[in-house]
C-alpha cells in the first residue's frame, strides 16, 4: 500500500477523467477518495461521472463525496456554454459510460477532507482541478487543515501566459475567485499548475488511437471521450491536440521534477481591491488574475508556481500509465 494518500477534488469533465485514471494507475499513491465539485458540470453530475469512471477502471473501492454546489459568494451555479462545448453536456464528451450502481457517500466532501487531513497529515496529497470552494470551506471550518495537508497541487491560474476566460483569468480560479484568494493567503503549502505549463502538454488522436487498439471497453470509451475534447480544441483554433490540464497536476504532485517552479506568494485580484473596479462600477478584465502579492513579496513563501514543463517526459510517462490501466480494465 502506497504511503502517500491522494484525494482528487474534481468537476469531472474530460481532463478530470484523465486525472482520475492517472491517480488510479500510479502505484506511488493510494487514491482514497474523490470530492465532487462544480464547473464543467453540476456537482451531482460530477459525482455521477466519477463513480461511473471508477467502476469502468476497476476502482470501485474508491468512495465519492459531494462537495459544494456553487461558489462561496453566490447561491447557485450554471454551467457555461463554452464548458459544455468543450466537455459535452454530460461532461465526458457525450459518451455513454456504463452507469455505476454506487451512490455518493453520506458524509460531505468538506468533512471527509478535514477528517483525512487530521488522519494523514504530511502524507496527504490534495489535487483540486476545479474551483477552490471545497478546500476554502474546509479551512474555514477547521483552520488547522491549512497546516496539516502535506501537498496541495492544483490545476488553475495563469502567471506568465494569458488566461482562458479573460486575458488574465483562468477558468478554475474564475469559478470562485474569493475562495482561491483566501487559500493563496492561508498557510496551505501549494503548487500552482496553471496554463503556463498545461497548454504545452498536448495529447493527440495518435495517442487515443493506441487506447482504441487495446480492444477493451475502457480503452474505446476513453478514446471516444478524449477525441471529443481534441475536436473541441480544434474548433477553438488549437489543432495541435488537447491540453492535459488536470492530469498534469496529478503528475506534478507525485513527481515534481516534471516542472520547473518559482517560489512566490500570490494573490487573486477581486472586487474588494480598488484597482479592479472601473469608474462605472463594472469589473475589470484582471478580476481573478493570479499574480505575485506585493504585500508579501519579501515574506517566506508557501506557494510554488510551475513555469516550465518537460512535456515529452511527462507525456511518455502518462501514456505508459494510462495504456497499462486501460489494457487491464474492462
What pLDDT does residue 273 have? 46
What pLDDT does residue 284 have? 60
What pLDDT does residue 215 have? 95
What pLDDT does residue 274 have? 40
State which residues form the domain around 83. 4-328
What pLDDT does residue 244 have? 97
Instruction: Work out how many domains the chain is built from and give that number.
Output: 1
The tens-digit pLDDT sequence of the chain (330 residues) is 678 999 999 999 999 999 999 999 999 999 999 999 999 999 999 999 999 999 999 999 999 999 999 998 999 999 999 999 999 999 999 999 999 999 999 999 999 999 999 999 999 999 999 999 999 999 999 999 999 999 999 999 999 999 999 999 999 999 999 999 999 999 999 999 999 999 999 999 999 999 999 999 999 999 999 999 999 999 999 889 999 999 999 999 999 999 999 999 999 998 654 444 455 555 566 889 999 999 999 999 999 999 999 999 999 999 999 999 999 987
Domain holding 212: CATH number?
3.90.245.10
What pLDDT does residue 306 have? 98
- HEC string of the chain equals CCCEEEEEEECCCHHHHHHHHHHHHCCCEEEEEEEECCCCCCHHHHHHHHHHHHHHCCCCCCCEEECCCCCCCCCCCCCCHHHHHHHCCCCCCCCCCCCCCCCCCCCEHHHHHHHHHHHHHHHEEEEECCCCHHHHHHHHHCCHHHHHCCEEEEECCCCCCCCCCCCCECHHHHHCHHHHHHHHCCCCCEEEECHHHHCCCEECHHHHHHHHCCCCHHHHHHHHHHHHHHHHHHHCCCCCCEECHHHHHHHHHHCHHHEEEEECCEEECCCCCHHHECCCCCECCCCCEEEECHHHCCCCCCEEEEEEECHHHHHHHHHHHHHHHHHHCC
What pLDDT does residue 2 have? 75
pTM of the model: 0.94
Amino acid at each position: 500500500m502506497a504511503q502517500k494518500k491522494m484525494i482528487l477534488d474534481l468537476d469531472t469533465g474530460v481532463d478530470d477523467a484523465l486525472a482520475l485514471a492517472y491517480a488510479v494507475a500510479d502505484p506511488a499513491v493510494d487514491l482514497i477518495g474523490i470530492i465532487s465539485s462544480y464547473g464543467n458540470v453540476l456537482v451531482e453530475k460530477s459525482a455521477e461521472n466519477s463513480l461511473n469512471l471508477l467502476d469502468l477502471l476497476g476502482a470501485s473501492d474508491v468512495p465519492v463525496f459531494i462537495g459544494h454546489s456553487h461558489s462561496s459568494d453566490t447561491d447557485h451555479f450554471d454551467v457555461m456554454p463554452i464548458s459544455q462545448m468543450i466537455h459535452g453536456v454530460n461532461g465526458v464528451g457525450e459518451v455513454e459510460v456504463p452507469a455505476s450502481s454506487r451512490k455518493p457517500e453520506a458524509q460531505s466532501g468538506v468533512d471527509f477532507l478535514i477528517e483525512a487531513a487530521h488522519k494523514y497529515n504530511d502524507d496527504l496529497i490534495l489535487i483540486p482541478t476545479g474551483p477552490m470552494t471545497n478546500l476554502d470551506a474546509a479551512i474555514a471550518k477547521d483552520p488547522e487543515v491549512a497546516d496539516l495537508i502535506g501537498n496541495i497541487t492544483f490545476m488553475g491560474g495563469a502567471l506568465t501566459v494569458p488566461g482562458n476566460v479573460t486575458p488574465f483569468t483562468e477558468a478554475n480560479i474564475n469559478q470562485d475567485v474569493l475562495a482561491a484568494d483566501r487559500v493563496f493567503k492561508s498557510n496551505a503549502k501549494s503548487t500552482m499548475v496553471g496554463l503556463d505549463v498545461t497548454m504545452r502538454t498536448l495529447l493527440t488522436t495518435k495517442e487515443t488511437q493506441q487506447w482504441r487498439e487495446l480492444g477493451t471497453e475502457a480503452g474505446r470509451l476513453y478514446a471516444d471521450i478524449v477525441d471529443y475534447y481534441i475536436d473541441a480544441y480544434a474548433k477553438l483554433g488549437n489543432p495541435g491536440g488537447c491540453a492535459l490540464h488536470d492530469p498534469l497536476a496529478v503528475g506534478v504532485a507525485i513527481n515534481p521534477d516534471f516542472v520547473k517552479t518559482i517560489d512566490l506568494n500570490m494573490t487573486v485580484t477581486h472586487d474588494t481591491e480598488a484597482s479592479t473596479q472601473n469608474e462605472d462600477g463594472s469589473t475589470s478584465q484582471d478580476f481573478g488574475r493570479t499574480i505575485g502579492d506585493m504585500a508579501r513579496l519579501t515574506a517566506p513563501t508557501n506557494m510554488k508556481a510551475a513555469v516550465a514543463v518537460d512535456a515529452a517526459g511527462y507525456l511518455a510517462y502518462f501514456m505508459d500509465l494510462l495504456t497499462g490501466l486501460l489494457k487491464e480494465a474492462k
